[in-house]
Chain A
Amino acid sequence: MRLEYFDLIDKVDELDLEGSKIKISSRLPDRSPVFDGHFPNFPILPGVMMLEMMNHAAGYLLYRRFMGERFVFLGGVKRAKFRRMVRPGDTVEVRAHLTHEGSGFSIAETTLTSGGATAADAEIILISQEFPNPEIKAALARHSETLTQPAEA
Chain B
Amino acid sequence: MSSTFDTVAQVISETSDVPLENIKPDAHAIDDLGIDSLDFLDIVFALDKKFGIKIPLEQWTQEINQGKASVQDYFVLKNLCARIDELVAAKNAK
Contacts and interface: CB of A to CB of B under 8 A. Distances in A.
A and B assemble together: yes
Interface of A: 75-76, 78, 100-105, 107, 125, 129
A101 B42 CA distance: 12
Contacts of A125: 38, 41-42, 45
A129 B57 CA distance: 12
Interface string B47-65: 0110000111111010000
Most buried by B among A78, A100, A102: A102
A103 B45 contact: no
A82 B10 CA distance: 32
Q: Which applies to chain B's interface (DSSP): helix, strand, loop or mixed?
A: helix
B63 to A, nearest CB: 12
A107 B46 CA distance: 11
5 contacts: A100-B45, A100-B49, A102-B44, A105-B41, A105-B44
A100 B48 contact: yes
A104 B48 contact: no
B38 A76 contact: yes
Contact of B55 (A101, A102, A129): A102
A128 to B, nearest CB: 9
